[in-house]
Amino acid sequence: MEDFSAEFVRFAAERGALRFGAFQTKAGRSSPYFFNAGAFNDGASLSRLAEFYAKAVEAAGLDFGMLFGPAYKGIPLAVSLALAFAARGRNVPFCFNRKEIKGHGEGGDIVGAPLAGRVLLVDDVISAGTSVRESVALIRAAGAAPCGLVIALDRQERGAGSRSATQEAAELYKIPVVSIATLDHVAAYLERRGAAAPLAAILDYRQRYGATPHE
């Protein structure tokens, strides 16, 4: 396990972004955990979150020229990640989309730097993949190239088929998908803490709904 993955899971749990119990997913499944990136809602926690994103990007060796944050949760993530890279001495342009096209002022559906070159998407998780699909379409329509996606947590959970939304996105758009941590890291965190009940629930959920491992 990457050290930053273990640190991130612990940080997310302490912050309340990662919670354990009984939660309903969009797919109608009863999940024993819930991840909410919106819980990183102040300067200190968002800054630390961005550091984890930066470490994940650097560890994966992703080659990119700018950042794109899908509305809405991707917006602060891309902005804070750009700041994290600036603190490392790398000035990276960023932009994000509007949900509705603006008809006055500068107009359009993109805010920030012009989409160009190799674009790295930044988001919290992948669920149905709608945000990724729309973002890739916007980037390509501008003549730029999506070159990767970085997310906070890979649920490793299958969708309609045997593959996860993360795996499907990587295969469909031919881009690497990198996560700070995965559900396996969450299970390892619970095991280290001796949290037998939530760990058993996570492992059972993984057994029933887990995606086919990457080949």
Does position 75 have pLDDT exceeding 90, yes or no?
yes
Inter-residue contact 198 to 171 (CB < 8 Å): no
**Range 160-179 average pLDDT:** 91
Q: Report the percentage of the chain scoring pLDDT > 70.
A: 93
What pLDDT is stored for residue 109 in this prediction?
Answer: 86
Inter-residue contact 137 to 119 (CB < 8 Å): no
26 catalytic? Reply is: no
174 catalytic? Reply is: no
Among residues 102, 174, 185, 214, the one annotated as catalytic is 102
**Range 150-173 average pLDDT:** 90
Where are the domains positioned within the chain?
3-209
DSSP code string of the chain: --HHHHHHHHHHHHHTSEEEEEEE-TTS-EEEEEE-GGG--SHHHHHHHHHHHHHHHHHHT---SEEEE-TTTHHHHHHHHHHHHHHTT----EEEEEEEEE-STT-EEEEESPP-SEEEEE-S--SSSHHHHHHHHHHHHTT-EEEEEEEEEE--BB-SSSSBHHHHHHHHHT--EEEEEEHHHHHHHHHHHT-HHHHHHHHHHHHHHBPPPP-
Does position 215 have pLDDT exceeding 60, yes or no?
no
Inter-residue contact 6 to 188 (CB < 8 Å): yes
More confident residue, 207 or 102: 207
Name the least confident of 41-55, 84-98, 135-149, 200-214. 200-214
What pLDDT is stored for residue 130 in this prediction?
Answer: 83
Residue positions counted in the chain: 215
What pLDDT is stored for residue 2 in this prediction?
Answer: 62
Three-state SS annotation for 19-71: EEEEEECCCCCEEEEEECHHHCCCHHHHHHHHHHHHHHHHHHCCCCCEEEECC
What pLDDT is stored for residue 98 in this prediction?
Answer: 85
Among residues 104, 174, 185, 214, the one annotated as catalytic is 104
What pLDDT is stored for residue 201 in this prediction?
Answer: 98
Q: What kind of architecture, by CATH, is found in domain 3-209? A: 3-Layer(aba) Sandwich (3.40)
9-50 pLDDT per residue, tens: 999 999 999 999 999 987 788 999 999 999 999 999 999 999
Does position 67 have pLDDT exceeding 50, yes or no?
yes
> Mean of the per-residue pLDDT values for the chain?
92
Does position 115 have pLDDT exceeding 80, yes or no?
yes
What pLDDT is stored for residue 95 in this prediction?
Answer: 98
With 0.75 as the threshold, say if the pTM is over it: yes
Phi, psi angles (nearest 5°) of residue 116: -160, 150
**Range 92-117 average pLDDT:** 80
What pLDDT is stored for residue 214 in this prediction?
Answer: 53
Three-state DSSP class for 94?
Answer: strand
Q: What Rg value do the Cα atoms of the chain yield, rounded?
A: 17
